[in-house]
Amino acid sequence: MERIEIQGRGAIAGRVEGYALVCPESITGWGGIDPATGLIKDLASSRRGQSIAGKILVIPGSKGSNGWSCYYSITRVSGANPKGLIITRIDSSSAVAAVGLNVPTVVDFPAESDPCQVIEDGDSVTVDGSTGRIRIIRK
């Protein structure tokens, strides 16, 4: 088993473990996910048909309008939210979504540690939103 660690900046405190869902092109919020189920509907997403529910969602940042954050926040109400967030570069919409989700979140990684490049779908990932540390165990 290969073990890898990368370091970002902790944004929302807490520690969570789960399986990664890596969306290197991000996911449109408004219409890109079903907030009741977490199912990805974005036609441009390579992960269309998969669900963010219960996963560690790995994205480069937000995609689309500022309504993006609302859809992610609604997943928390419906119980279809990700367990944790890893965001390569935080922006205003992804920051609002992270606060609305209130799950451990790590952001702002150096270019050589881009989580969308380092982490693979299905990897076991530990997100420590307090220290900014990500631990990865290859699937």
Q: In 3-state terms, what secondary structure has residue 9?
A: strand
User: What residues are labeled active site?
Assistant: 65
Q: Which residue has the tokens 């939103």?
A: 129
Closest to 139 in 3D by CA, of 19, 23, 31: 19
Tokens encoding 64:
């689309």
Tokens encoding 5:
């660690």
